[in-house]
Homo-oligomer: A and B are copies of this chain.
């Protein structure tokens, strides 16, 4: 893969994402936009990183959706994160060295590949950027913790409702949609692997949520009829996403 420096605004989704956690001054923004990178289009279901790889590039999503997952020895799959525009989809793998999980596209994706050495450099040359990226990985970890609680302690209806609330809020945060109505890019089997259920039970649970008047569905589109009731069913509170956290180190 060839790396080219593109002085345009290609990487602006990253600037926007990192600014969710706190303002960045012009110098910091310019430094991000100036990162060397190479843009690629990827088809659905394509692997970005495979478990065991030693990626030397980090992948930034510019368009489309992707997910992280592990495959266990018995062949079952566990999805542990869904990613969207502006997410550094394998910062974790590329800095850690050997990938402990795979990353795969969900839809058609446009992605920028940035050399990991460039990430490391900008992190320390421009501390504000380094802190924002560190913060970003800490928020990812916070979401992992919430998923552990979701899968460990909630029943099927709550788990799925929770995932739908989270997805809507994340879309809204990056100004890509409305928490109350959006296109959900996952199949029921993928939802199952993200919630520790089976595809059959996800199907029944979605129909149940629909029958109870909590959601409406049409093709891949989901509409949440009553956000408050949905939050109640999900046991959802948005603190773990750390959107608008007034007391972070970044403020």
Interface residues of A (CB under 8 A from B): 52, 54, 68, 70, 72-74, 76-78, 80-81, 92, 94-98, 100-101, 116, 120, 123-124, 127, 130-131, 134-135, 137-142, 144-149, 151-154, 193, 195-196, 235, 237, 239-240, 242, 245-249, 251
Contacts and interface: CB of A to CB of B under 8 A. Distances in A.
Contacts of A151: 148, 151-152, 196
Contacts of A74: 153, 235
| Contact residues of A: prevailing secondary structure | helix
A145 B144 contact: yes
Nearest to A128: B124
Contacts of A68: 145
A215 to B, nearest CB: 20
A95 B21 CA distance: 11
A242 B96 contact: yes
A69 B98 CA distance: 28
A188 to B, nearest CB: 16
This chain's copy number in the assembly = 2
Contact of A101 (B96, B100, B145): B145
21 contacts: A68-B145, A70-B145, A72-B153, A72-B235, A74-B153, A76-B153, A95-B134, A96-B135, A97-B246, A97-B247, A98-B246, A100-B145, A100-B240, A116-B249, A120-B249, A123-B130, A124-B124, A140-B141, A144-B144, A144-B148, A152-B193
